[in-house]
Amino acid sequence: MEEFSGVETWRVFRIMSEFVDGFESLRSIGPAVSVFGSARTHRNAWAYKTTMKTTEILSRHGYAIISGGGPGIMEAANRGAKRGKGMSIGLNIQLPMEQKQNPYQDKSLVFRHFFSRKVMFVKYASGYLIMPGGFGTLDEFFESLTLLQTGKIRRFPVVMMGKKYWNGLLRWVESTMVAEGTISKSDLDYFHITDDPQQAADHIIEFHKERILPVGERRKAAMLPDESPTL
């Protein structure tokens, strides 16, 4: 029993270290959008190209891009961020397969535990971009809705892309969950669905209008005297 207790205690310290490393590494990245989608998406796929276009637009408007750091949609997200001259961040996870770090990351962290990694995705996000994906993508999508619905996080835009991919799920949500009263009709307002990269980016940008400046304007603002009151 004592040996088991010691193992568990050290596990707690390892978990704590992941939180500390994440908080220290990401605290100064500014506004960011977390992107989720399948690691199995090929480079010639619509979802890959659309992810890259959307994150490039967001990067040019002052957003850092956070992905899971791996291949597929994650690679497309980081690649688009690099094209847009914005900060490209990968929150990598140790897995026995599929997870290989993509080369388009300015800042790269590696996690052993999904739950500490998930905290970083939501804590530093000013929006979520949900691309076609598997169980992990669904997990992140529904968790974001749960946190928004219960008021555990501040309101931010959640954009789903790929109407053909998601429409079956969303029809079921409305025809079954709303119809049975397990969620409210108004809960559907927590997310927006589109196929257009510009519209997806605009939905996030408009939500934060006048609070987040494009990259060029942020650089100019940084050179102006600070007129904010001293606290």
Total domains in the fold of the chain? 1
- Sheet containing 88-93: give its strands across: 107-111, 88-93, 64-67, 32-36, 127-130, 158-161, 191-194
Q: Is residue 222 part of a domain?
A: no
In a domain, 224, yes or no: no
What domain range includes position 126?
A: 2-216
pLDDT at position 100 is 81
The DSSP line for 189-204 is: GGEEEES-HHHHHHHH
Q: What is the pLDDT of residue 219?
A: 42
The reported pLDDT for the residue numbered 188 is 97
pTM: 0.85
Contact between residue 148 and residue 190 where contact means Cβ atoms under 8 Å apart: yes
Q: Is residue 120 packed enough to be buried (19+ CB in 10 Å), middle (13-18) or exposed (0-12)?
A: buried
Q: What is the pLDDT of residue 230?
A: 31
Q: Confirm whether 228 is domain-assigned.
A: no
pLDDT averages per 10-residue partition of the chain, 231 residues: 63 84 89 97 98 98 96 98 97 76 93 90 96 97 96 95 98 98 97 98 91 50 36 30
Which CA distances in Å does 158 have to 133, 194, 200?
15, 11, 9
What pLDDT score does 16 carry? 87
Lookup result for tokens 């010691």: 6
pLDDT at position 113, please? Answer: 86
pLDDT for res 99: 62
Strands 107-111 and 127-130: unpaired
| pLDDT at site 171 | 97
Does 61 map to a domain? yes
Q: Tokens 């270290």: give the residue.
A: 17
Extract the runs of DSSP E, i.e. beta strands, from the chain. 32-36, 64-67, 88-93, 107-111, 127-130, 158-161, 191-194
How far apart, in Å, are the Cα atoms of 132 and each of 20, 91, 97?
Answer: 31, 19, 20
46 by Cβ neighbours in 10 Å (0-12 / 13-18 / 19+) ranks as middle
Residue 170 covered by a domain: yes
pLDDT of residue 3: 54
Residue 227: what pLDDT? 34
The token pair that represents 29 in the structure block:
């990245």
229 falls within a domain = no
pLDDT at 25: 86
Amino acid identity of residue 88, one-letter, is S
76: CATH = 3.40.50.450
Whether residue 115 is contained in a domain is answered as yes
Say if 86 falls within a structural domain: yes
